[in-house]
Amino acid sequence: MRQLFIIATAFFWLLLLGFATTDLWLPAEVEAPLPVADSKAYALSEVARHNSSDDCWMAINGEVYDLSSYLPDHPSPPEVILAWCGREASEAYRSKMKERAHSARADRLLAEYRIAALGP
Ligand code: HEM
């Protein structure tokens, strides 16, 4: 009986030691690689080729947007936004050219027109 008690106790402590040291003997968890959703990128020189009212790309905050179909819906006079087709327009978008930020709704709308990242 006493022997059984000693064996059970030893087993218990061994088990506990095993749990406490899992870092040492279990393989480290392998981190899942981040999904590469979209690796497409366009350089500013490519953006510059799309500079008309029916083919209008803009680079805004490191992303490239094809805004061709949105232009007629933009609430400002057309020339205000047309002037930025084919260009780096982060500052124009940030300030509306009069130190007024676009709304969160505008930000959500913008996201719908993203086509790629801005590449080197
Ligand atoms: C990059 C050049 C742009 C300029 C200079 C510009 C400028 C303006 C101006 C002057 C207005 C009207 C006056 C005002 O609300 O203060 C306006 C409103 C607005 N713009 Fe733009 N805009 C630009 C790009 C864009 C883009 C790319 C989007 C979205 C795809 C957008 C979405 C809106 C919306 C939704 C409004 C209504 C007001 C608001 O929600 O902020 N704009 N913008």
Token pair of 75, please?
């609430």
Cβ contact 89:59 at 8 Å: yes
| Residue range 3-52, pLDDT digits in tens | 776 777 775 677 666 657 666 656 565 555 555 556 899 999 999 999 99
**Cα-to-centroid distance, 74 and ligand 1 (Å):** 6
**Cα-to-centroid distance, 22 and ligand 1 (Å):** 56
* Domain positions in the chain: 41-119
For domain 41-119, the CATH superfamily is Cytochrome b5-like heme/steroid binding domain (3.10.120.10)
Residues with a CB atom less than 6 Å from ligand 1: 58, 67, 70, 74-76, 80-81, 84, 89, 92-93, 96-97, 100, 102-103, 105-106, 109-110, 113
Closest approach atom of ligand 1 to CA 107 = 29
Over residues 95-115, mean pLDDT: 97
d(CA 87, CA 81): 11
| Residue range 62-72, pLDDT digits in tens | 999 999 999 99
Closest approach atom of ligand 1 to CA 101 = 41
| Residue range 82-96, pLDDT digits in tens | 999 999 999 999 999
pTM above 0.95, yes or no: no
**Cα-to-centroid distance, 106 and ligand 1 (Å):** 7
